[in-house]
């Protein structure tokens, strides 16, 4: 109940969060629109006008001595609705465009020419041609009345001093009427009211649609995850709609299949370990019982069997302990610089001596002594595990060869046996915990299924590499590589 309430609240939350973001985004958009379309509209319009007037004046300046200048002036005047005058510096017209309305009085023209001369050769200013009438505050008109019934009409006056070959220095005068933007602003404002309303409605609708589309696949994945949590590892996650959701469901599918593998391995481990424990324990018990009942008939074989089985048990317990420590990350490497070749040689000789009586031939070949920086005890354990496997699985000729080779900056230790080899399809799994190719669990071949996963862990901790070359009937070569000092 509590969980479902929490989930519902979160769903609600997601919806409203998206809604809030969308509303925020729309508000920002609308504020920008309002600012640009109402507050800044006038200054935008004026700067556009100034640029237009300047570029017209530039065009006239470039063609001031052209024989068809009058055509250009007329075109400018008509197309841009401007009055163009070309005059001497004492304000006497040389040329006046067809559109004469709005021309300035003589004195003001003279004044502007002077200002332009002082001001880098050009000057512009705004003049109000019709003074606004007073607001209608005092009258008692009914209804909504405009603030004043006549808008002032503004004009942009621009003058540029230009050098002409025919007339000497002249002034190009351009007068452009500025239409009042108030009417436009009112229209835009009404449009903005409508746009605002539409955007709010759209963001609400969009927020709900998006939230639903996002939350639905998440809900489905959550439903499957609950089934998975109960232990159904064959649960399938099917995320649709968004790349992230698809990736999440892929990851969960992988996690589910990994969990199911772990579960299978766990069951196998329980079966293996209980089998491995039960057999030596019952052997030890029956031999001990025999020795207890017939103390006078104790033989060396009986005590040897007890010793062998105890050995087998302690190997198993040690392996399980090692792998659990390595996996928990509690084992730290004790890195020292040591002579790997001599260490491998000593282990090989010791083991060779031990197994000589059973007819095993174990040899070690190497070029020169190699020093490495590694944890000697752990690397010896790796080598020992590989060697033990080779002894267990080697063929009837009972030969095992150990070879040290150098490959650039790496040293490789390879253990080769002449056994049956490993099938290609089994090779990727032999490094997994508790994996045994032979599930029938022959007692002649001892093993906990942990040896190679210990190798994998330890070499991995050293940043080295490991591998196997093997094929059915061709024996196997297990190897590991470390960096040379
Ligand atoms: P185990 O203790 O069972 O040997 P390992 O992890 O050392 O466990 O090895 C895993 C499996 O890999 C073994 O059960 C065996 O099937 C296979 N294997 C390991 N070494 C060899 C080898 N030298 N020749 C053939 N098979 C091998």
Q: Is the CB of 199 under 6 A from ligand 1?
A: no
Task: Yes or no: say if 177 and 81 are a contact pair by the CB < 8 Å rule.
Answer: yes
Q: Is the CB of 252 under 6 A from ligand 1?
A: no
Q: How far is the centre of ligand 1, averaged over its atoms, from the C-alpha of 460 (Å)?
A: 19
Q: How far is the centre of ligand 1, averaged over its atoms, from the C-alpha of 310 (Å)?
A: 22
**Structural domains in the chain?**
72-130+151-180 (3.30.450.20), 243-324 (1.10.287.130), 332-483 (3.30.565.10)
Q: How far is the centre of ligand 1, averaged over its atoms, from the C-alpha of 388 (Å)?
A: 9
pLDDT of residue 150: 55
Site to probe by mutation for ligand 1, drawn from 360, 389, 433 as the one with most ligand atoms within 8 Å of Cβ, is 389
pLDDT of residue 4: 46
Q: What is the pTM of this model?
A: 0.49
Q: Which residues of 94-105 are buried (b: 16+ CB within 10 A; e: fewer)?
A: ebbbebeebbbe
List the one residue out of 163, 172, 166 whose CA is nearest residue 57.
Answer: 172
Q: How far is the centre of ligand 1, averaged over its atoms, from the C-alpha of 423 (Å)?
A: 12
pLDDT of residue 442: 44
pLDDT of residue 299: 87
Q: Of all protein residues, whose CA lies closest to atom 8 belonging to ligand 1?
A: 449
Site to probe by mutation for ligand 1, drawn from 386, 387, 452 as the one with most ligand atoms within 8 Å of Cβ, is 452
Q: Is the CB of 393 under 6 A from ligand 1?
A: yes
**CB-count burial class (<10 Å; 0-12, 13-18, 19+) for 228:** buried
Residue with tokens 């290609």: 424
pLDDT of residue 2: 44
Q: How far is the centre of ligand 1, averaged over its atoms, from the C-alpha of 438 (Å)?
A: 9
Q: Is the CB of 447 under 6 A from ligand 1?
A: yes
Site to probe by mutation for ligand 1, drawn from 272, 273, 386, 393 as the one with most ligand atoms within 8 Å of Cβ, is 393
List the one residue out of 396, 328, 333, 404 whose CA is nearest residue 365.
Answer: 404
Q: Is the CB of 441 under 6 A from ligand 1?
A: no
Per DSSP bridges, beta strands 168-178 and 410-417 are unpaired
Q: Is the CB of 476 under 6 A from ligand 1?
A: yes
**Cα(102)–Cα(100) distance, integer angstroms:** 6
Residue with tokens 């065009």: 59
pLDDT of residue 253: 92
pLDDT of residue 134: 55
**CB-count burial class (<10 Å; 0-12, 13-18, 19+) for 140:** exposed
Name residues of the chain where pLDDT drops below 50: 1-7, 440-445
Q: Is the CB of 239 under 6 A from ligand 1?
A: no
Q: Is the CB of 449 under 6 A from ligand 1?
A: yes
Q: Which neighbouring-strand residues pair with 371?
A: 339
**What is the position in ligand 1's atom list of the atom closest to the CA of 415?**
23
Q: Is the CB of 448 under 6 A from ligand 1?
A: yes
Q: Is the CB of 437 under 6 A from ligand 1?
A: yes
**Cα(123)–Cα(117) distance, integer angstroms:** 8
Q: Is the CB of 53 under 6 A from ligand 1?
A: no
pLDDT of residue 101: 58
Q: Of all protein residues, whose CA lies closest to atom 23 belonging to ligand 1?
A: 390
Residue with tokens 């056994």: 419
Count, residues in the chain: 485
Q: How far is the centre of ligand 1, averaged over its atoms, from the C-alpha of 330 (Å)?
A: 26
What stretch of H or E contains 338?
Answer: strand 336-339
Site to probe by mutation for ligand 1, drawn from 272, 388, 451, 472 as the one with most ligand atoms within 8 Å of Cβ, is 451
List the one residue out of 343, 403, 374, 402 whose CA is nearest residue 482.
Answer: 374
Q: How far is the centre of ligand 1, averaged over its atoms, from the C-alpha of 385 (Å)?
A: 9
């Amino acid at each position: 109940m509590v969980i479902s309430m929490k989930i519902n609240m979160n769903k609600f939350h997601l919806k409203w969060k998206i809604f809030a973001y969308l509303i925020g985004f729309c508000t920002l958009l609308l504020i920008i629109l309002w600012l640009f379309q109402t507050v800044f509209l006038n200054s935008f319009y004026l700067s556009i006008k100034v640029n237009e007037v300047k570029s017209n004046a530039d065009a006239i300046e470039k063609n001031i001595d052209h024989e068809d200048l009058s055509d250009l002036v007329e075109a400018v005047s008509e197309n841009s609705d401007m009055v163009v005058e070309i005059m001497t510096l004492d304000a006497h017209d040389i040329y006046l465009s067809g559109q004469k309305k709005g021309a300035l009085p003589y004195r003001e023209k003279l004044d502007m020419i002077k200002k332009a001369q002082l001001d880098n050769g050009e000057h512009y200013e705004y003049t109000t041609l019709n003074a606004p009438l007073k607001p209608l505050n005092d009258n008692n008109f009914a209804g909504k009345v405009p603030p004043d019934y006549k808008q002032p009409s503004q004009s942009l006056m621009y003058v540029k001093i230009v050098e002409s070959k025919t007339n000497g220095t002249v002034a190009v005068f351009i007068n452009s009427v500025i239409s009042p933007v108030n009417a436009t602003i009112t229209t835009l404002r009404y449009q903005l009211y409508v746009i605002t309303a539409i955007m709010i409605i759209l963001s609400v609708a969009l927020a709900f649609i998006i939230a639903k589309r996002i939350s639905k696949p998440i809900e489905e994945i959550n439903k499957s995850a609950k089934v998975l949590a109960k232990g159904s590892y064959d649960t399938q996650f099917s995320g649709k709609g968004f790349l992230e959701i698809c990736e999440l469901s892929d990851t969960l599918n992988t996690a589910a299949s990994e969990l199911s593998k772990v579960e299978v391995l766990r069951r196998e481990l329980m079966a293996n370990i209980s089998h491995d424990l039960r057999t030596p324990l019952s052997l030890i018990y029956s031999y001990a019982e025999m020795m207890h009942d017939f103390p006078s008939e104790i033989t060396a074989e009986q005590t040897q069997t007890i010793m062998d089985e105890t050995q087998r048990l302690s190997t198993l317990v040690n392996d399980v302990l090692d792998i659990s420590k390595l996996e928990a990350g509690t084992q730290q490497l004790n890195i020292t610089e040591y002579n790997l070749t001599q260490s491998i040689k000593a282990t090989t000789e010791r083991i060779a001596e031990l197994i000589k009586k059973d007819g095993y031939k174990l040899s070690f070949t190497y070029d020169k002594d190699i020093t490495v920086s590694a944890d000697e005890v752990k690397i010896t354990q790796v080598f020992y595990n590989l060697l033990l496997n080779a002894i267990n699985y080697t063929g009837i000729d009972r030969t095992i060869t150990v070879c040290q080779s150098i490959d650039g900056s790496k040293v490789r230790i390879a253990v080769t046996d002449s056994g049956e080899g490993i099938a290609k399809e089994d090779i990727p799994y032999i490094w997994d915990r508790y994996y045994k190719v032979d599930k029938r669990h022959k007692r002649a071949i001892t093993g906990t299924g942990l040896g190679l996963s210990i190798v994998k862990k330890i070499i991995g901790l050293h940043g080295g590499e490991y591998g196997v070359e093997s094929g059915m009937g061709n024996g196997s070569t297990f190897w590991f590589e470390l960096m040379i000092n």
